[in-house]
Amino acid sequence: MLKKRTHLNIVRIGSDITFSSLKVIGQRIVETFAGLIGEFSLSHFNTPVVESIDAHLLTMVLHDEYGGHILGITDADLKTSDWDEFYNSIVGGKNPKNDVAVVSTNKLSPPQIQSEKDYDLYLDRTLKVSLHELGHNFGLTDHASFRKSRDGTLCPMSRGEFNKFGYRGYVRVVIDGRGLYFCEECTSFLNSIYGYKQKLVNFLKDGLVSQPSVLNAFS
């Protein structure tokens, strides 16, 4: 199974994010998962323009269309079948029956992107949610508490109490607070299962993130 995950296919669904930006995100993912994800490719999935899409259905479609280890990034709102309206719209999810994770940029963008700083924040958030979902593909679970990584930022698997903040507050407090390095517990798990050795990489290059700083089964 690990061999299947060493190559990541990043699939764009929609057109809000550029391929050059996806390439930078892919490079950061490879750096964070050094030794686990060795390479990535970029694809575009043609789909009608929609405001929202069922998250589980999207993972199944991507699995059938591409197979393998997939990260789907869409500008559409990801929906679930949760009866609670508060929880039936998500920023990311992972299908436990395959190696497909999906991320929605719908709620990650600042109210208006008027500067390079705004766009970098948008990419930074997309990267952090992507790391969280891909972490699930390697067996990592959510941290209900706010666990710190060794650089002092939140572990990418930190989730916290979602409904305590609401969507906007959650993005600012939890997602913006996440870093690019896993906590000791996550690193230890990945090391014991896959022989993963986390390296501190200079993620500040190219200006993607402003500081060293992304749900299992749609949680």
> In whole angstroms, how far apart are CA 206 and each of 21, 25, 40, 199, 210?
11, 11, 19, 19, 10
* Predicted pLDDT of residue 203: 47
Angle value at C-alpha 50, between 47 and 52, nearest 5 degrees: 115
The H or E element containing residue 13 is strand 7-13
170 vs 44, higher pLDDT: 44
> What is the tens place of the pLDDT at every residue in 30-60?
999 999 999 999 999 988 778 899 999 999 9
Give the whole-angstrom CA distance, residue 23 versus residue 28.
Answer: 9
Give the whole-angstrom CA distance, residue 210 versus residue 90.
Answer: 25
What is the pLDDT confidence band of residue 18, given thresholds at 50, 70 and 90? very high
CATH code for the domain of 89: 3.40.390.10
Beta-carbon contacts of residue 88 (< 8 Å; ≥ 6 apart): 79, 80, 81, 82
What is the pLDDT confidence band of residue 150, given thresholds at 50, 70 and 90? confident
Among 125-129, 151-155, 166-170, whose mean pLDDT is lowest? 166-170
> What is the tens place of the pLDDT at every residue in 70-81?
999 999 999 987
Residue numbers of the domain that contains 41: 2-218
Neighbours of 207 (CB within 10 A): 11
Half-sphere CA count of 154, side-chain side, radius 13 A: 23
SS3 state at 57: helix
What is the pLDDT confidence band of residue 198, given thresholds at 50, 70 and 90? confident
| pLDDT at residue 214 is higher than 70 | no
Which residue type sits at 140? L
> In whole angstroms, how far apart are CA 198 and each of 173, 182, 185, 188, 190?
25, 8, 12, 10, 9
* Predicted pLDDT of residue 34: 92
How many structural domains does the chain have? 1
| 174 contacts 154 by C-beta, under 8 angstroms | yes
Which residue type sits at 200? L
